[in-house]
Structure 1
Amino acid sequence: MPAGSRPASRRPERMRIRTLVLALALTVFAGGCSTIRGWIASDAEKARGPAELTEIQASATVEQVWSINLGDEQQRMGLRQQVAIEGDKVFVFDDEGEVMAVDANTGKPVWRTLAAERRSDGSAWKFWRKRIADGGITGGPGVGGGLVVVGGRNGEVVALDAGTGAERWRAKVTSEVISAPLVAGDRVVVRSNDGRTFGLDSADGARRWVYDRGIPALSTRGNAAPVSDGQRVYLGYEDGNVVALRLGDGSVAWIQRVAAPEGRSDLDRMADVDGELALGYSELYATSVGGQTMAIVMATGQPLWSRDTGTYGGLALLADRLMLADPDGTIWALDRSSGSALWRHDVLARRWLSSPAVHGDYVVFGDVEGYLHWISPEDGRVVARERLDRAPIRGTPQVSTTTGLLFAISGEGKLSAYRLR
């Protein structure tokens, strides 16, 4: 071989490398111009991002009690998991399909059970590999009557013994389950993502009834978890309606429209009632991404009042008012009896706030940057702030009436418990 010459067999390999580098460069410059613009973002572009956090005069003291990791794929899967609480136990699931009972005071596992295993096809380039899951838990947990119930990507519904984690029964519904099943008396009520709701026997998982309601062409990824007053089960639907079903046989008690789909495009017509429904003494409160919040008489379905303020999330119910954050991040306090606005505050504008939770004398929102904000319900002041993680908090924080602790989960799977002092 002449000096200085290169093996001919290596030239195609080098050409392939050059081609790959060129393709990546073109991808960056042709498809990723927004990334470059981000380096020199204009003031107008920055103004559309989350509002910058300002210093607060903290008047409440919050401390993190414990923290555990559930796995970092929950955000990629589009989940907004929140814990279920019963007594001194917290129930949650991880990325691998395990359901766990955790001591609420310490964060130590009490038991863990593999309920719906996730599998990977293992077929991507090693350097760019992403695990593609088939199966796994996507909805829940729901707890009650000695059961912990979760739903899976493939429509599995698994009931475990709340005390030991032993499997009690396993059933199947027609589509992915992405909200927490409801355990109410002798029924387990499960929403599947194709518009159907199933009433299963809590003793053995046998199907007792099914309610089938079509879904629009376009809707948000999320279903409000069913709630019950012991006689009826209430469900928010993608078409802007709240439906009340009789718990025993699944027959329709009433249907009330909260927001009407309006506009020319499917996007404009989105009216999902996706946030948690709130039960009062004799009234139900619902809110829609279509821009309406309504108080409804639970017995009849008749509206008490309606307000032109809505949200993709849910509501926090206090003695005399309810609180929510609209899609712009403005926090509203509405009079519980009339729906009139008591105040509104945009201190957390554009921060994609979670549904709120009541913690002691305050209301808590999670945000897109992983912060938890404790808000005074009297005037909207931020009285305390803690950062859970650097990933969004999508699931609603939950508060234990037994321990007084607040529990929140980030999109990267960090679960932490907080105490007010």
Structure 2
Amino acid sequence: MLRRSLIIAALLAFATGCSTVKGWFGDKSGKALEPAELVEIANPVSPRQAWSRKLGDEKAALGLRQRPAIEGERLFVADDAGRVMALDLNTGATLWDSEVVRTGKEGSRLLFWRRKAIDGHVTGGPGVGNGMVVAGGRNGEVVALDAETGAERWRAQVTSEVIAAPLVAGDRVVVRSNDGRTFGLDVADGTRKWVFDRGLPTLSVRGNGEPVTDGNLVYLGYDDGTVIALRGSDGLMAWSQLVAEPEGRNELARMADVDGELAVGYTELYATSFAGQTLAISTQNGRPLWNRDTGGYSGLALLGDRVVLADPDGTLWALDRSSGSALWKQEGLARRWLTTPAVQGDFLVVGDVEGYLHWVRASDGTLAGRDRLGRDPIRATPQVSPTGVLLAIDSEGRLAAYPTPAQ
């Protein structure tokens, strides 16, 4: 689509490490816009890799913010060459990937499946649930695979590229396409049950936040600065709430995308906007509970009493869940284009433009440790398993697992 070809993809490609719009198009300040120099950490923890591996080759570089999905002892990943893979969470060993092949000694019941997942490119990370893995592609094709074997269950077609990971929730698979439409597909066979269509602004950040649910409603952030709540059964809108008003004299200044991960609490939803606003919303009626003039392009992490996010300048903020007041901020990672924070035990973990992972103490925001996954940007939010293992992947498919560091 021509409209999407004009979108500022470089915003989240982290190629420049710039922190201002002026810097994206060239700026004479040079070094002042480079990622902040990393300083020595006092009494650091020592994160260690339990295992690491490379997914695919250089031609299979991952797309925008594709993150792993975890279910039980399995890890599911996708790459931009059309492959979906299941890996052992504890070892990183491949359990199944593309074309169907049986391996093992004669008489063995151990099966490794290889099945072609999608014709073309997988552009959205995988969604997992109900024993299924679902991924979408550049041509709008959606494929559902059996999580245990990799066998194909069904295929469906939506109207545009799928960037966000699908949501598997109850009897629906919720899929966002890149033209503003969201589809509710039958979990059993992929037939289309409903479509929600919302117009898009002329210019926006390339990327769509993943649908999330509280078991009742499905929530989506949109490029016009709003959050929408849909009924999962029929796709009807329950409520809509503006997070940030698009303001400015031109389309660039008016970008207010809600593209990062939404955080669902008990009766509240938290959303942050590229325009620099964070909002707490009642899930019952969409009423704002509080707002804060701090926001960003990535999403939010939710802890017991606080919500944490990174702003465009690379400052990490912890905000009180009940009031939005700032509890602490960490400015030592300036201009590093941080991912959405992940919660690993007592730590928050973010990836950056230079391939570093940073461990930050959730209690007070102090820097606790770091490790370099590679030299390519980490764009996808790190994921944490129920056993506390952190999985991180960079833009060229380097994947590593980290147990929770000892204090």
- Please give the range of the TM-score, normalised by the shorter of the 2 chains: 0.7 to 0.9
Q: What is the correspondence of 1:270-419 to structure 2 with a 5 Å cutoff?
A: 270-401=255-386, 403-419=387-403
Distance 2:374 2:32 in 1: 23
Find out whether 1:187 has 2:159 as its counterpart: no
Counterpart of 2:226 in structure 1 is 241
Q: 2:128 pairs with 143, 148, 153, which one? A: 143
Q: What are the within-5 Å matches in structure 2 for residues 115-134 of structure 1?
A: 115-116=116-117
Partner secondary structure for residue 50 of structure 2: strand
User: Secondary structure of the residue that 1:64 maps to in structure 2?
Assistant: coil
Q: 2:53 aligns with which of 68, 91, 116?
A: 68
Cα deviation code 1:55-92 (max 9, x no counterpart): 11244231101111123558977421100000000000
Q: Which runs of 5+ in 2 are unaligned?
A: 1-26, 99-114
Q: Which runs of 5+ in 1 are unaligned?
A: 1-41, 119-134
Q: In structure 2, the residue corresponding to 1:90 is in which secondary structure?
A: strand
Cα displacement (A) at 1:44: 4.0
Mapped contact 1:116–1:152 kept (Cα < 8 A): no
Letter in 1 for 2:134: V
- Does the 8 Å CA contact 1:58/1:382 hold for their aligned counterparts? no
Matches of 1:49 and 1:269, distance apart in 2: 25
SS at match of 1:268: coil
Distance 1:363 1:152 in 2: 31
Amino acid of the residue matched to residue 360 of structure 1? G
Per the TM alignment, residue 231 of structure 1 is displaced from its structure 2 partner at its CA by: 1.4
1:103 to 70, 88, 96: 88
Instruction: Report the Cα distance in structure 1 between the residues aligned to 2:58 and 2:178, rounded to whole angstroms.
Output: 20
The amino acid that maps onto 1:389 is G
- Aligned pair in 2 of structure 1 residues 230, 325: CA closer, same or farther (>3 Å)? same
Contact 1:96–1:136 under 8 Å retained in 2: yes
Contact 1:242–1:258 under 8 Å retained in 2 = yes
Q: Is the 8 A contact 1:366 1:394 kept in 2?
A: yes
Q: Tell me, what secondary structure is at the counterpart of 1:332? A: strand
Instruction: State the distance in 2 between where 1:139 and 1:44 align.
Output: 36
Which amino acid in structure 2 is aligned with residue 64 of structure 1?
Q
Shift of 1:140: 2.0
Partner in structure 2 of residue 162 of structure 1: 147
Instruction: Tell me, yes or no, if the aligned pair for 1:143 and 1:182 is still in contact at 8 Å.
Output: yes
In structure 2, what is the Cα distance between the partners aligned to 1:376 and 1:111?
36
Paired with 2:222 and 2:56, the residues of 1 have a C-alpha distance of: 30
Distance 2:249 2:382 in 1: 36
Structure 1 residue 397, shift from structure 2 partner: 0.2
Instruction: State the distance in 1 between where 2:57 and 2:179 align.
Output: 27
SS at structure 2 position matched to 1:62: coil
TM-superposed CA distance for 1:187, in Å, is 0.1
Matching residue's letter, 1:414: R
Offset from partner CA, 1:298-317 (integer Å, 9 cap, x none) = 11101110000010000111
Q: Paired residues, what number?
A: 364
CA distance, structure 2, for counterparts of residue 355 and residue 58 of structure 1 = 25
Pick closer, same or farther for the CA change 1:272–1:75 going to 2, 3 Å.
farther
**Cα distance in structure 2, aligned partners of 1:410 and 1:210:** 33
Q: Sort the Cα spacing of 1:66 and 1:383 in 2 relative to 1 into closer, same or farther, 3 A.
A: same
TM-score w.r.t. structure 2 length? Answer: 0.87
Q: 1:111 to 1:77 in 2, by over 3 A?
A: closer
Q: Decide whether the 8 Å contact of 2:61 with 2:80 is kept in 1.
A: no
Q: Tell me, what secondary structure is at the counterpart of 1:46?
A: helix
Query: Which has the greater radius of gyration?
Result: 1
Distance 1:188 1:304 in 2: 30
Q: What is aligned with 1:171?
A: 156
SS in 2 for 1:324: strand
